[in-house]
A and B are shown apart, each in its own frame.
Chain A
Amino acid sequence: MSEARDFKYIGQRTIRPDGADKVTGRANYAADFALPGMIWGKILRSPHAHAKVLSIDTSKAEAYPGVFAVATHADFPGGEGGSIEAGESAVNLKDLSRNILADDKVLYAGHAVAAVAAVSERVAEEALELIEVSYEVLPHVMEIEDAMQADAPVLHEDMFTKGLDEEPDKPSNVATRTELKMGDVEAGFAEADVIVEREFKVSRAHQGYIEPHACTVRYDEDGQSLIWCSTQGHFDVRALNSQLLGIELSRLKVIPAEIGGGFGGKTTVYLEPIALILSRKSGKPVKMVMDRDEVFMATGPTSAANLKAKVGAKKDGTITAMQGWMAYDAGAFAGSPMMPGVMTMFTPYDCPNVLVEGYDVVLNRSKTAAYRAPGAPQSEFAAEMVVNEVAEKLGMDPIDLRLQNAAKEGTQTIYGPKLKRVGLVECLEAAKNSPHYQSALAEGQGRGIAAGFWFNIGGSSSVTVNMHSDGTGSIIEGSPDIGGSRASMQMMVAEVLGIPLDRLKPIVADTDTLPYNGTTGGSRTTFATGMAVIEAAEKVVEQVKARAAALWNVTAEQVEYADGVVRNLAGEESISLAEVCKSAAQTGGEISGSANINARGAGPSFAVHLCDVEVDQETGKVDVTRYTAIQDAGKAIHPGYVEGQYQGGAVQGIGWALNEEYVYNDKGQVDNAGFLDYRVPLASDLPMIDTIVVEVPNAFHPYGVRGVGESGIIPPLGAVGWAVGNAIDRKVEELPCSPPRVLSMIQSG
């Protein structure tokens, strides 16, 4: 439990243990790996957004000099029906296999159809052009509202909407309808003095990691197959490949490379199963690296959404009812993050009457994947915009309105349980007292504020701390480190053992070395893997104490451990951890602590952001002039990397709110599949991102940690959207606020 205490390492801005390798270019990312005899795989992709695949003739490609293997959907062993638990959520294997390589239909432009492995990338690309695919082009449907129409082209003949009162008798593009409610919204709105209701649209946004997907694999029929890849969860890569290709888990080893960004987008598989098939067929190691346009065309962005929000409040500021509606674009296969969108939409508010309805819709765009607080930014954007408008109508300060209605310990959520201790009120108060909020706006500027809620998760983490004879230790963990988590693990173990950081080396181990470990996602790593490293380190301390007690012929209760030294409370002796480790073989064997936990009690993290913008009234161009991100960390293990999560999330959200969007041509092809025209924020686009780290401890973590990775991307949509509207005296209803859209709002009068 976490009352105030003095820490030696926790809370320090330490140098990350993997840092030197990363700043010198020595760190090995997935595309940096090569095996002897390795060949290269490339993918043929559909130019059509929706078509039947009538035939695929690969004979010319197979005969092309330098080609070793060709793969199509038919190379999956089949029977990959049903779904499996790949870590945190159920994955529909049939859909997954059909997304990796199209079966009888292509469902989006860029959908993989076949793959070639050849002596070089160049030869593989030449061979792709020799594959003859016969398509019967079908009408495609690109927009959510169109896909939901009864007469829309249907993507999946076997998809019948789930969650309707009556069983549907016709297939539909609506995979699921869901509704969560509590109280009586009609009665709540009847009590309200002010009601605001608006409709919103949010574009799909790509995670935009700078490192394209990449892997190198070696299939081994008799022994053990190997995958070296860029992933947030190598145990899930193993699970998915095992199921898709019928390989026993123990015969498939996945080695996580350093990962060049994920943000949720590297929690599934695209290349690895194809590479394994090509390796199996060619008998050679196969390397595959996506081109940037493939990343944008065929890997998961998050969903576009159509939304409605309606909020009612009394004159005194009491919110009486909140109602939401949303339809999320899942892409070509069911499974948008609509459900978390529904669950999070109004969670920052303590309101008794809430009703939210959601639709998961398929259409002829690439399958979506998780992206930082999946589903929450879209729905909470709609909610925050309407809450700000309620404050405006009531003549109330938007922070005061939120404080009056803020979710806190004991607040009933729409998704079931009551909240435990959370830090929204503290974040709102910090925002209100911030220099930013206290500052005056210049002429022509606008200011926006928004809150954000994300659950955070726990789950499986497996860790071993091995102590060596020189007193140093290895922290063997299974959570791929995307943002500096090895530093946090090192600090937590150092805190327990009371020895200097540089005596401890954290290692992200392969799937053979540890039991299953959940994906780095859901803001779980510092929380859950952190709990596991603490438990493992505590086991080391117990062993060290026991060895010292045995040496002194006293009981374990008669010794005390602090700062890396065991002291005999019954005598004068003391012995260092290093000395105990040196003699460990003689005192009962080497010293090591393991913890395989299923962490529960993840603490939600609330965030509140403030944004000032300036709008060029003649061109509609928006300049973010000041930005502050405030968020509850529970306890910041490494404040630098906690701030980094806030800043990075804020800037991804700013990009989504201002310029990031998918543009499709009339054939349904992505027209901006590159960093030139998919416009992520640049260094020159931004001011410094100020941060305020609020610490309301999570009682379920020994040091009070909450996850911090995701909540920061939620508030920017509302904070930027409201600020833009504030600057031009209009109401923003559609993101991104790109210059043409803002200019047309200005001109619309």
Chain B
Amino acid sequence: MVSVVYEAPDTVESAVSILADSAIPAYVLAGGTDLIIQTRASKDAERLVVDVKKIPGMCDATIHDGALELGPSMPCAAFTARDDIKAVFPGLVEAAYLIGSTQVQGRCSVGGNLCNASPAADTIPALIANGAECVIQGPDGERTVAVEDFVTGVGQNCMEKGELLKQILIPAPAPRTADAYLRFIPRTEMDIAVAGAGVSVTLDESGVCTAARVAIGAVAPTAILVPAAAEALVGTSLDDAALAAAATAASEASSPITDRRGTVEFRRHVVGVLVKRAAKIAADRAGGN
């Protein structure tokens, strides 16, 4: 059984140096809803767990002129209670709300969901749809990476030893832009997404889509951006034909597996349905409905 060493630094700098200097495998503890279970099942002899919640700013969020600066460890319960964030990014807030139970909401975070890099993570497609970026602090400085490039594989992210995700940034959306996120689960709660879809659309004053981002989850090793689905929406008034074309593009871009949560055929079909439905919701929101 793994033996745990626990550190709770109070600055980003000291967290980075603890992570960088660790002689044993080191993990960042945000909400712990994934990490604690993984640690218990780990075959490591020792693990360093670095609790970053005591670092100022890690659990805060601000909205400036529509742009979001999010502390990655902010509990989802706090994040989803923020009406100012919900007003700008309702889809991202919905995605964060879908992670786990009320109890899990009290601990889990957008940053934790992102770093854990599960193919089925709910917030990742929603972040990608919104063009979110990760601010990473390492021993040698800071770098910024788009979310779709941050996640590199199943449970893998691009951070090197000693690096810490210190902020998630989402630029202010253009006028008449809105997002939506939908996932499919067999029950109404408590399940891991069988498929997920995050969509952001921008409309002109006549209701024609001028820009779109479509990201899908749980249907490939990582959440993926599907430009073909976005292209199917741009230039249309998001009529049924356009939505159907986006759905088909998403299904075709997916490369799911069969497991205890769903089959290849089911996931491929349902991800298209979700893209269609999420695009409709996003368009309604963008149009002021």
Question: Do A and B belong to a common assembly?
Answer: yes
Binding site for B on A (CB under 8 A): 122, 125-126, 618-621, 658-659, 663, 671-672, 675-677, 679, 681-682, 684-685, 738-740, 743-744
> Per-residue CB proximity of B51-93 to A under 8 Å, as 1/0?
0000000000000000000000000000000000000000000
- Report A-chain residues with C-beta under 8 Å of the C-beta of B261: 677
When C-beta atoms are compared, the residue in chain B nearest to A121 turns out to be B1
> Per-residue CB proximity of B261-288 to A under 8 Å, as 1/0?
1110110011001000000000000000
- A621 to B273 Cα, complex, angstroms: 13
- A682 to B191 Cα, complex, angstroms: 11
- Report B-chain residues with C-beta under 8 Å of the C-beta of A744: 265-266
Of B181-189, B200-208, B215-223, the stretch lying at the interface with chain A is: B181-189
A125, A679, A685, A739: the one within 8 Å of B266 (CB): A739
**Chain B interface mostly:** loop
- Report B-chain residues with C-beta under 8 Å of the C-beta of A743: 266, 269-270
- A619 to B195 Cα, complex, angstroms: 11
When C-beta atoms are compared, the residue in chain A nearest to B43 turns out to be A129
- Report B-chain residues with C-beta under 8 Å of the C-beta of A672: 260
**Given A672-B260, A740-B262, A740-B263, A682 contacting B270 (CB threshold 8 A):** no
- Report B-chain residues with C-beta under 8 Å of the C-beta of A738: 186
- Interchain CB contact under 8 A, A671 and B260: yes
- Report B-chain residues with C-beta under 8 Å of the C-beta of A618: 270, 273
- Interchain CB contact under 8 A, A663 and B186: no
A126, A671, A675, A685: the one within 8 Å of B188 (CB): A685
- A122 to B39 Cα, complex, angstroms: 13
- A80 to B187 Cα, complex, angstroms: 45
- A684 to B269 Cα, complex, angstroms: 25
A-B contact pairs, 10 of them (CB 8 A): A679-B191, A681-B187, A682-B190, A684-B189, A685-B187, A685-B188, A738-B186, A739-B194, A740-B263, A740-B265
- Report A-chain residues with C-beta under 8 Å of the C-beta of B194: 739
- A126 to B266 Cα, complex, angstroms: 41
When C-beta atoms are compared, the residue in chain B nearest to A670 turns out to be B260
- Interchain CB contact under 8 A, A676 and B187: no
**Given A122-B1, A621-B184, A621-B186, A676 contacting B266 (CB threshold 8 A):** no
- Interchain CB contact under 8 A, A126 and B260: no
- Is B192 positioned at the interface, with any CB of A under 8 Å from its CB? yes
- Interchain CB contact under 8 A, B273 and A619: yes
- A743 to B262 Cα, complex, angstroms: 11
- Interchain CB contact under 8 A, A679 and B184: no
- Report A-chain residues with C-beta under 8 Å of the C-beta of B192: 676-677
- Interchain CB contact under 8 A, A676 and B190: yes
- Interchain CB contact under 8 A, A663 and B260: yes
- Interchain CB contact under 8 A, A676 and B270: no
- Report B-chain residues with C-beta under 8 Å of the C-beta of A684: 187-189
When C-beta atoms are compared, the residue in chain A nearest to B41 turns out to be A293
Report A301 CB to chain B, min CB distance, Å. 16
- Interchain CB contact under 8 A, B266 and A659: no
When C-beta atoms are compared, the residue in chain B nearest to A741 turns out to be B266
**Given A671-B260, A676-B192, A659 contacting B270 (CB threshold 8 A):** no
> Per-residue CB proximity of B166-197 to A under 8 Å, as 1/0?
00000000000000000010111111101000
- Interchain CB contact under 8 A, B266 and A682: no
**Given A619-B184, A663-B260, A682 contacting B269 (CB threshold 8 A):** no
**Given A126-B1, A677-B260, A677-B261, A619 contacting B190 (CB threshold 8 A):** no
Q: A677-B260, A684-B187, A739-B184 are in contact. List 7 more A-B contacts (CB 8 A).
A: A126-B1, A619-B184, A659-B187, A679-B190, A681-B187, A684-B189, A739-B270
- A682 to B185 Cα, complex, angstroms: 13
- Interchain CB contact under 8 A, B273 and A740: no
When C-beta atoms are compared, the residue in chain A nearest to B247 turns out to be A618
- Interchain CB contact under 8 A, A619 and B260: no
**Of B186, B261, B262, B269, most A-chain CB atoms within 10 Å:** B186
- A642 to B263 Cα, complex, angstroms: 40
- Report A-chain residues with C-beta under 8 Å of the C-beta of B191: 676-677, 679
